[in-house]
Amino acid sequence: MFYVLGKRSTIVIFLFLGLKVISQNDTITLYNGSFEDVPKRGETRFWTGIKGWTDCAAINNFFGESPPDIHPNGFWENNLPASDGKTYLGMVTRDNDTYESVTQRLSKPMKAGKCYAITVHLARAERYVSHSRMTSDETNYSTPVTLRIWGGATLCQEMELLAITDPVKNHSWQIFSFKMKPKKDILYLTFAAYYKTPALPYNGNLLIDGASHIVSIPCNENAPFIVNTDRKQKNTPSLPKSTLPKNNGKSTPSKSQTSSQNSKPSVEFKPKIMLELNRTNFKPGETFQIKNLYFQEDSAMINQNSYPALDEIFSFLEKNKKIVIEIGGHTNNIPNHDYCDRLSTKRAKTVAEYLINKGLAPERVQFKGYGKRNPIATNKTVAGRKKNQRVELKILSVLS
């Protein structure tokens, strides 16, 4: 899978044999990686482009097909809050063998034979309702599709496949990170939604947000890791190792990571804060409130007094390696929906990033902001509003 964590803003690199800060000269800027723009549906009469990106439909000879969408906009019945900023990109594949993709020219080339890392947030909308191109019937474009990252020498050129995901099934945001080693110099980067192959063309969707800048990294098995320095946390834990992409650009875990996940912890997990985690049987859908978790006011900055609770959750997940979780953020009802969605998502993302920094495999944690939609107490009192402003751990699945 993918084991790099990052963000578009400030990034540093931790080398396996020591600490080294990569200069900005080694960073390739990706403009508007969070796809900030006016929310709009991808129809020609509404289309004014996406800041920093070019739609590839015409270049791919998909004439007459609509461009990608900017969400959340209420169209197509999708309203998942953005994971980074206010808006994000929605792309589809269609049953007439067409698909959506966007491209941009890099601030400087990716050099052949060198290695690079990039991080992207991905999700799949549960509802993405439009008309079938083959039957004209209303249909839900809900089938999982893959993200393909292409490199090229010209606009939208699919010259070299740099990375590819498995079909993205998660309905909450998940952090996907890639290592890329181009065989030729790359001037343009293209994000494309594409079918799982081999298969007949089908109607599916892919949501994309939070793409980081591209960072030059060493080409060795113990490659470095991108970490977000915005939180300024003390005692930042180390990250898991990963390998360069194999099998047509798909990343795979290293042997050390696989053996680590199958080994038993040397110290038995004994919860002190979240006593509910002392059980042995868990069912998908169960939700637990994360107690003793504190943020700065109107911020996603975690107070250091929260570390014991988060470390306890990490220890629980280390012991129960088959559990996949969602971190869900919630607020009270005082601010407007847009503010509540963004704050709750940022806080959930910060908790997810903390756990990944500790060493949790990224595919085991998703995050989502629910805003003020799911209160557990009255919002008419201070005490009730405090209860509603919370972060929860939800069991998504228990793998067999």
Q: Domain map of the chain by residue range?
A: 11-256, 264-398
Beta bridge partners of 207: 90, 123
Please report the pLDDT score of residue 238 as a whole number: 34
Please report the pLDDT score of residue 14 as a whole number: 34
pLDDT tens per residue across span 342-355: 999 999 999 999 99
User: Does the structure show a pLDDT above 90 at 247?
Assistant: no
Contact 321, 378 (CB under 8 A): no
User: Does the structure show a pLDDT above 50 at 65?
Assistant: yes
Please report the pLDDT score of residue 226 as a whole number: 54
Please report the pLDDT score of residue 266 as a whole number: 43
Contact 156, 54 (CB under 8 A): yes
Per the model's pLDDT, the better-predicted residue between 196 and 58 turns out to be 196
User: Does the structure show a pLDDT above 50 at 100?
Assistant: yes
Tally Cβ neighbours within 10 Å of residue 110: 23
pLDDT tens per residue across span 144-166: 999 999 999 999 999 999 999 99
Please report the pLDDT score of residue 220 as a whole number: 80
Q: Which CATH architecture group holds 11-256?
A: Sandwich (2.60)
Please, what is the average pLDDT of the chain?
83
Confidence band for 45, pLDDT divided at 50, 70 and 90: low
Residue 394 tokens, joined: 């939800």
Confidence band for 240, pLDDT divided at 50, 70 and 90: very low
Residue 359 tokens, joined: 């060493």
Per the model's pLDDT, the better-predicted residue between 17 and 305 turns out to be 305
Distance CA(180)–CA(92), nearest Å, equals 24
**61 CB contacts (<8 Å, ≥6 apart)?**
none
Distance CA(189)–CA(208), nearest Å, equals 15
What are the angstrom distances between the C-alpha of 179 and each of 130, 156, 356, 382? 35, 20, 17, 47
- How buried is 119 (Cβ within 10 angstroms: 0-12 exposed, 13-18 middle, 19+ buried)? buried
What are the angstrom distances between the C-alpha of 232 and each of 24, 249, 343, 347? 19, 33, 18, 15
H/E stretch holding 307 reads: helix 307-319
Distance CA(118)–CA(363), nearest Å, equals 16
DSSP annotation string for 240-286: ------BTTTB----HHHHHHHHSPPSS----SS-GGGG-S---TT-
Distance CA(343)–CA(97), nearest Å, equals 39
Residue 138 tokens, joined: 């209303």
The SS3 call for residue 177 is strand
The SS3 call for residue 105 is strand
Q: Can you tell me the mean pLDDT for 200-228? A: 83
Q: Can you tell me the mean pLDDT for 250-278? A: 55
Note the pTM of the prediction, 2 decimals. Answer: 0.82
Q: Can you tell me the mean pLDDT for 13-40? A: 68
Please report the pLDDT score of residue 399 as a whole number: 82
CATH 3.30.70.20 fits 264-398, yes or no: no
Contact 115, 152 (CB under 8 A): no
Per the model's pLDDT, the better-predicted residue between 42 and 193 turns out to be 193
Please report the pLDDT score of residue 245 as a whole number: 36
* Cis check: omega of the bond before 198, within 30 degrees of 0: yes
Please report the pLDDT score of residue 275 as a whole number: 84
